[in-house]
Each structure stands twice: as C-alpha cells, then as structure tokens.
Structure 1
C-alpha cells in the first residue's frame, strides 16, 4: 500500500471519528434537556463523548504524521530531480517536464456554471478528440490535487453531478428532507439494551375514598393495572455503491451516507405522527373544525378547545408543557391573519394586540413561535396534507410533550459498511439502521383539530 493510500485511509478514519464524536455530543445535549436525567446518566454520556474526542485526537495525530512523511518524501523527490550527474547529457527542451503555474483546464473564474465541462462531456461521446483530451487533462489535474478523494462506490452514472471539477461539487444540493422536528420536541429516553418490547404498567382501576358513616366500613376499591406493551421497531435503509463511484467520484460516500441519515430521521418522525394504530394522528381525540370558508379567527378557538381536552385528560399529571404541532403551510396561514380585535385575557410575554409571536427560527431548529395563549409551535412537514374526503386537509396536534414518549438507541443511527457481499460486482454495501419505540397513549391526552376547515390554505389575510 502506498503512502498516498495510507493518507486516504487515515482521512476516512478521521472523518468517521469526527462524526461519532458529534453524535455523542448531540446525545449529551439531548440528555441534558430531559427533566428526569440523573447525574450518573450524564456522567456516562460525558465519558462516551470524551472517549470519542480522544479518538478524534488520535486519528488526527496519525494523519498529521503521515502527511509529514509525504511532505518529506516530496522534498526528497524534488531534490533528487535537481541532482543530475555532470556526464549526463541534458535532454532536449521539449522533453523536460516543468512545474509552473499552468492554468486549470476548467476554471471557475471563466466558467462559473461549468458549461464548458458539460459541452466537452457531450462532445466526447460524439467522438470529438480535442474534447477527450481536455477531459483527460482535467482528470490528471484532479488526481494531482484531490487524489485522496478520488482513491475511494450505485455506479458512477448515478453521480454524474459529482465526478466533475471541484468548484462544481462544493455546492452539491442534498435531497430536501422533512427530518424530525416532532421527535426532537417530545420526551426522549434511552432504549433498553435488550428485548423487542417496552412494557409499562398503567393503573386502570384506582383506589377510592368516601365519607364514612360512624362505625360503618371504610370505602375500599381494589387497585388494578394493565400492562402496556410497546413494540421496538427497526428503521433501516441501504445503498450499494460501485467501487468506481467511490474511487473515481468526489466525496460520493459521505454524500450517500448523509442522505441515508436524513431519510432515517424523516422516516422516524413520520412514523411517530402517521403510523396506523399507534401514530399521533391515530391515537389523538379529534376536535372537528368544519368550515367552507375557514379563517384563523375561527380556527383558534378550536386550538383552545383541544388544549382544554389535553388538560382534562391528564388532570394532576399535566406538566403544563403543551405544544402545538402543525405543517408549515398551516403555520404561515395562521400568521397571515389580520384583525382589529384583541384577546380579553393577555398572556405572559405576548402583547394583547398580537395574535401570537414568530421567533424567526429556521425549520427543524425547535420552537418556531407561540400562539396567542403562549403555546409553543413545532412546525413539522411530515404531517400529511392529503387527508379528508377531498384529500387536501392537514391536521393540527395539541399534546403535552412530556406524555409523548420516544425510546431510541443512544448510538442510533448505526452504520455498516460491508464490501464482501458485493465483492464479485465490485460493490460496497452501506446500511444505516436503528431501533426505537414510542407511545403517545400512556394517557389518552392527545388532541387533533381536523376537518374541512383545514383544507389547503388560501392567504387572504383572515
């Protein structure tokens, strides 16, 4: 194995260590936001984060050592090239390789959109030898400047947008994904290390008390519970890449891995909301909003009705940390309303003349704003928009965030890179997977606003 190949391996190992360290740090941040955290759990996660940090340092030092060796080798090679025996006849001028500031074949300052590169690709297929020569020079330049990335696999045809000049791949566009705003907002737990179910005890028959008549028996009702069994589910995806795509493409493997992680998050979050039987939409008690000409002023009382239902269901178990979860189109519709009427009761931190506040944060970054009564809003585009008889309705969910439970493996999602299964085809199999369990039904507290009042919104200012 060459020194360049060792450097390429060391860079890949460093990238993997950095990714692992970031996952451990994210897990630590998520753990610290859990109200029920213990010092032992935090200390254990800090230890895992520090171990991952130490691994990054070790990998970085190994890479720096290899790169220093490469620099020394290059210096010796240059020195040897300048040391020519006196008896050796100097070669002709046109037979000497010279190193200078020769311009790149495709330059961003002359061809920002890469149209020259694209024309040459098309012309080369039609037999244009000059175009083939320019493409060959470009590949030689890429090997000289980014050899570690080229020595790295879906086929190269699937990544035609990446096997191009570097100034074009810097701005590659990942596939947009809804990701996991709702999953990040609810109460998270570490998934138990073993088993494919999570079991909870629910008190379904409580004790009782009553006023006693003197010398009569004291009231008694036997307490009883029901076992609540929650299935552990597996979220997974795979992609087989050809070695040609990995080794001849530019950063193809990290791009595919990033896309798999984004889709993993989206599937998890969508499952929490939309899965039949157990998803939020399935278990929430419906509050009907039926209106052929819906307005924000008419929809808002339904929000309060739903919140009243949440608190009535939880009684003293209500944490008060209610959230409203809605699609981005519904959030912007609620912001479009204009009115001259103000609420009779003002809320902390919200001026009476406002119909809520927009915090100006980006999608997926947490709370987007607050409704007029102060309820935080989570915007999640995994919410379906094809509901109802006209297949054009969405839903608004009102829940106590602490009674929506999500158990995840602390290391999820996990990554497998296997070369043996597809070795005969020069394929590399990449698999991303993780285990999770969830429930919104420990108490029947969740509410949803649904009906013809939530058809595709029109932005008319009401």
Structure 2
C-alpha cells in the first residue's frame, strides 16, 4: 500500500471518528433534555462522548504523522531531482582557469556533423547525467547567443521521437470489484488445519421440565437428541499467465496482476456466502414479502422490523442482539432519499429524537455505513443480486444476527503460487491465487429477508 493510500485511509477513519463523536454529543444533548434524566445515564453518555473524542484525537494525530511523512518524502524527491552525483558536477566557477570566454560545448570545428550532440540526446534519454549537463549548458549558450531566434522555436509535436510519453504506473486504475463487505462483518474463525468438512452438533430435541403431578410421582423426562450440521470446506482459486518479458521489462506488472487476483478472490468468497445455491444467505433466509407497485422507504421499513422480529423469535435466548441489515448500495441510497414528517413513537438507542436513522458517511467496504431508525447497523454489499423476481429487476434486504453468520478461513488466505517452470517453454510465469473457506448461516436457521416487487429498481423521488 502506498503512502497516499494510507493517508486516504486515515482521512476516512478520521471522518468516521468525527461522525461518531458528533452522534455521541447529539445523544448527550437529547438525554439532557429528557425529563426522566438520571445522573448515571448522563455520566455513562459523557464517558462514551469522551471516548469518541479521544478516538478523533488519535485518528487526527495518525493522519498528521502520515501527512508529515509524505511532505518530507516530496521534499526529498524534489531535492534529489535538483542534485546530481558529485563526480558528475561541473567545477565551481571560481575553481577553473578562464581566459577570455569559455568554449562552446559543441564546436563545429570538432564535430562537423553533430554526432556528439546526437549521442548526448540519446544518452540523456537513457539517464546519463553528464549528457544532460552538456545539453543544459548548450541550451544556455544558445539562449545567450541566439535568444531572439529561439523565441520562434517549434513545439514538442515536432520532436515526436524525442518527447516520450510517460506512464504513471503508480496511479494505475485496478478493475473495480464488489469485494467482501458482508464477509468481513461475519463472525470469523480460523479454519482447522486438516479436513475438507467441519461439523457442528445442533441440539434438535431438548429436555423437558414440568411441575410434578403429586409427591413421589415421576417428573417430566425427554431424551435429548442432536443433528450433525456438516459444512463443506470449499476451495476458491484463480490464475493468470504473464510473459517473462512483462515481468522483467515492465514496471510493477506482477504486483498489479496479484492485486487483481486477490481482490477477485475476496469478491468470489463474499458472493458465495450470499448467493451460493442451497447454503448462501439468499437461499436460507425466510422471506418477508413486500409487494407494491409504487414502493416507498416508509413502507419498506415496517417490513424490516418484521424481519428483525422473526430473527429474534427464532433465536430466543440465544440471540446476541448484534443484528445487522445487509443491502445493495442502490437500496441504501434509496432509503436515504426518503423525506418525511413523522417519527417513530418509541425512541431508540443512539438515535437522536426526530431522526429516521443515520448515515455514517463511511466509504464502501469500510464497515457499517449507517443505522436504521431502530438502531440496526447497515452493511452495504453490491454482491447482492439485482436481477431477482419475475421482472428480473429486484434486490433483497437481509436481516441476520451477525454472531450466527459463521465464516472459517485460513489465517494466511488467500495464498499464491508463482511457477516459472510450468510455462518455461513459452517464457511465461504462472501466478495462482487460492484459499480454503467454509461458512454457514444455519447453526440457528434465523436469517430473514425482505423480497418482492416493492424492491424493484428504485426511483429516487424523495419518498
């Protein structure tokens, strides 16, 4: 990762910290206006606000350090551009003997055909500092003797073979990917070192407890039973063969290819945990249907609450309360575009009065994007399909307990192989990226989804 990318990442983290701190301050102000105010509640909220303030300071200092480092790097780069090795510097003016005037750098009596000049032009192009110095002195001499004529000099277009286009290789644009926002939000585990299947025992028949009918009579009894949940370990892999010439004579070609393979590996994994047949989130979630020819954000929100109620009804005392909503970016922005004049009847944790949720303004793939009116965090993931339904234009909103969406990955994944011998006959280098993973949303089959004609391609009409 480049220093510029680290600075951009630090700025995003600072923006997020500032937004969080503002939310905590708003919540504190709302709490102080509450008639049922308690000192403990205020103290706790002040502590949360202060913690968020400290996080802003920490992020600010980290960004300032990176920016100072970048400024120093740029200063050194400019200094290096003005400096040539000591052995190649021309002698100082007062260190040489001079009689009358200096000789011209390129003299017609010594180089009638200009071969020395042409050689220096070619050498300067290849990085020869001495050749560059001679050409610079020659141009200074020309300006002194023929400055009026140089004003009529031709443009760079007349020297297409000498004015070479430059490629900014450090600013290459990688292919955009949906990456893995939901996979990063799942509960992570290290994949066991061996085996192509992981198993979880699920108690499907529990014991029984009831009141004893009369003294000295048998109490309730029910034999417990479990069912094995078998989860396959899957292998994701991709390859790219690049020429040895591109590796040895190109600029960063191998790094660009590996970056693309890694990003596509992440996108594939995330796509599978959402859309894979039978086991993906889309196929195991219980549907809450929203049918509407003229859908609005105000109408879909009660469906979200219905889905969350279904999650808790399934989980009962095993619910962690760490619920999240997962949706496509087009659905998230559609919900943000809605305007309204009514508010929930029941206030929610971390939600300021008379607001209908909050946008944290975090970048795509950087974690929670915001919260819904009831405080449920939102994960935006563009691996969610947008071609569902009879009209092939619907997407879905998923509601899950984050702690019951399990993902096992090798700590070193993804891994890569660089093989030269396999393609030696064609001077190729084979790059392979691969990794093993397993996942399940079915330890407790709890996931719900909002689907139906109410989730067709959104129209941003402010409702």
What is the TM-score of this pair, normalised by structure 1?
0.68
Deviation string 1:7-26 (CA, Å, 9 cap, x unpaired) is xxxxxxx99xxxxxxxxxxx
Distance in 1, matches of 2:228 and 2:302, equals 36
Shift of 1:134: 3.6
Corresponding residue for 1:112?
none
1:262 and 2:294 matched: no
Distance in 2, matches of 1:438 and 1:186, equals 9
1:377 and 2:378 matched: yes
Distance in 2, matches of 1:456 and 1:326, equals 13
Corresponding residue for 2:397?
396
Distance in 1, matches of 2:446 and 2:280, equals 13
Deviation string 1:282-314 (CA, Å, 9 cap, x unpaired) is 000000000000001110000000000000000
Distance in 2, matches of 1:420 and 1:291, equals 60
Distance in 1, matches of 2:162 and 2:194, equals 58
Distance in 2, matches of 1:453 and 1:92, equals 86
CA RMSD of aligned residues (A): 2.6
Unaligned runs of 5+ in 2: 3-83, 90-108, 121-129, 137-154
Alignment of 1:25-424 (within 5 A): 92=110, 94-95=115-116, 98-101=130-133, 131=160, 133-134=161-162, 138=164, 165-166=166-167, 168-214=168-214, 215-424=216-425
The answer as to whether partners of 1:345 and 1:352 remain within 8 angstroms in 2 is: no
The answer as to whether partners of 1:179 and 1:265 remain within 8 angstroms in 2 is: yes
Distance in 2, matches of 1:350 and 1:432, equals 44
Deviation string 1:350-386 (CA, Å, 9 cap, x unpaired) is 1231110000100000000000000000000000000
The SS at the match of 2:183 is helix
The SS at the match of 1:381 is coil
Shift of 1:415: 1.1
Deviation string 1:247-303 (CA, Å, 9 cap, x unpaired) is 222211111111111101100000000000000000000000000000011100000
Shift of 1:434: 0.4
Distance in 2, matches of 1:267 and 1:332, equals 24
Alignment of 1:417-456 (within 5 A): 417-456=418-457
Distance in 2, matches of 1:460 and 1:299, equals 15
Deviation string 1:18-62 (CA, Å, 9 cap, x unpaired) is xxxxxxxxxxxxxxxxxxxxxxxxxxxxxxxxxxxxxxxxxxxxx
Identify if the C-alpha distance between structure 1 residues 77 and 414 changes in structure 2 by more than 3 Å, giving closer, same or farther.
farther
Unaligned runs of 5+ in 1: 1-13, 16-73, 80-90, 104-115, 121-129, 139-163
Distance in 2, matches of 1:276 and 1:396, equals 18
Deviation string 1:121-164 (CA, Å, 9 cap, x unpaired) is xxxxxxxxx75x448xx5xxxxxxxxxxxxxxxxxxxxxxxxx6
Distance in 2, matches of 1:228 and 1:418, equals 38
Shift of 1:77: 8.9
Distance in 2, matches of 1:422 and 1:325, equals 43
Corresponding residue for 1:108?
none
Structure 1 runs (4+) deviating above 2 angstroms are: 74-79, 91-103, 168-171
Distance in 2, matches of 1:251 and 1:77, equals 31
Shift of 1:394: 0.2
Distance in 1, matches of 2:169 and 2:230, equals 48
The SS at the match of 1:268 is helix
Aligned residues: 330
Distance in 1, matches of 2:193 and 2:350, equals 43
